[in-house]
Amino acid sequence: MKKFLIAGNWKMNKLTAEAAAFAKELKAKNFSNADEVAVLVPFTQLTAVGEGLAGSGIGFGAQNVHFEKSGAFTGEISVPMLEEIGVNYCIVGHSERREYFGETDETVNAKLKALIEAGITPILCVGESLAVREAQGEQTFVAGQLVADFNGLTREGAGKVVIAYEPIWAIGTGKTATPEQAEEMCAFIRGVIGGLYDNDLADKMLILYGGSMKASNAADLLAKPDINGGLIGGASLKIDDFSAIVDAAAQLK
Ligand code: PEP
């Protein structure tokens, strides 16, 4: 049976009371596929969301982390700090972090290694800009990101990573990649991972699509063979919108 992960990226949204209420409502949905659902929330809402989801099977996690365990890194949050809260997931290399906060493939690689060592599942984001796609360079670009991001990861470590293909031109723009475009790149990513490791590992890897996924387009995207779910921004902020995407995945089981 195809495995999915439907992951909501709240970005910098929701104060604690709203976050806690959302977690409670999400738990109350009793999704049949709860163990294939997660929310990635601001650091300050992790504890409330973790408590609200406890016992639901739904995962939760952070949107970023520092790769050092501790030290003079003012304003940063370490992997042991996330471990202490009991998070299941952490986004790494989101395009907004690459674009606005100086995230590089080197820091992404270090973060992947630190999270894997701690048993927290990284959700690694890759994806090209509009200019790169218009120049038909998207596969070369994404392959380059993958080679750099997985540099030095053992087969066992690589097998813990979830990849999210997020074309930058589709994030928060309302412009979704067509199911065919998304499938083509997710299949390509699976091939790159197969080349870096082996096909058995690549076949088992969860590869998500992200970029304006919503209730109205989720089923078509999720039905594609190489798309194992979604990383969802805007549509993850409203319980009904997010639940509809979770239900779309459940119906494809
Ligand atoms: C995201 O930022 O991960 C994302 C996919 O956002 P949106 O769904 O709003 O395009």
Tokens of 230: 């979604």
The stretch 77-104 carries a mean pLDDT of 98
Q: Which of 36, 66, 94, 183 is catalytic?
A: 94
Task: Output the CA 71–ligand 1 centroid distance in Å.
Answer: 32
For residue 127 and ligand 1, the question of a CB distance below 6 A is answered with no
CA distance 77 to 64: 8
| 3-state SS class at 107 | helix
- Residue 10: burial class (beta carbons within 10 Å; 0-12, 13-18, 19+): buried
The stretch 52-77 carries a mean pLDDT of 98
Task: List, for residues 149-163, the tens digit of each pLDDT value.
Answer: 999 999 999 999 999
For residue 231 and ligand 1, the question of a CB distance below 6 A is answered with yes
pLDDT value for 81: 98
In 10 A of CB 6, how many CB atoms?
A: 29
- Reported as a pLDDT band with limits 50, 70 and 90, residue 130 is very high
Q: Which of 171, 176, 208 has most ligand 1 atoms within 8 Å of its beta carbon, as the pocket-test mutant?
A: 171
CA distance 30 to 56: 7
Q: Does the pLDDT at position 1 exceed 90?
A: no
pLDDT > 70: what percent of the chain? Answer: 100
- Using alpha carbons, select from 39, 46, 38 the residue that is nearest to residue 16: 46
Task: List, for residues 230-246, the tens digit of each pLDDT value.
Answer: 999 999 999 999 999 99
Active site residue 66: no
Ligand 1, atom 7: nearest CA belongs to which residue?
233
Task: List, for residues 181-191, the tens digit of each pLDDT value.
Answer: 999 999 999 99
pLDDT value for 37: 99
Q: Specify the CATH superfamily of domain 5-250.
A: Aldolase class I (3.20.20.70)
Ligand 1 atom nearest residue 212's Cα: 10
The stretch 34-47 carries a mean pLDDT of 98
CA distance 181 to 202: 19
Ligand 1 atom nearest residue 214's Cα: 8
- Residue 240: burial class (beta carbons within 10 Å; 0-12, 13-18, 19+): exposed
Active site residue 166: yes
The stretch 122-133 carries a mean pLDDT of 97
For residue 8 and ligand 1, the question of a CB distance below 6 A is answered with no
CA distance 50 to 143: 35
For residue 210 and ligand 1, the question of a CB distance below 6 A is answered with yes
Task: List, for residues 168-225, the tens digit of each pLDDT value.
Answer: 999 989 888 999 999 999 999 999 999 999 999 999 999 999 999 999 999 999 999 9
Task: Output the CA 93–ligand 1 centroid distance in Å.
Answer: 13
pLDDT value for 175: 86
pLDDT value for 4: 98
CA distance 190 to 171: 21
For residue 123 and ligand 1, the question of a CB distance below 6 A is answered with no
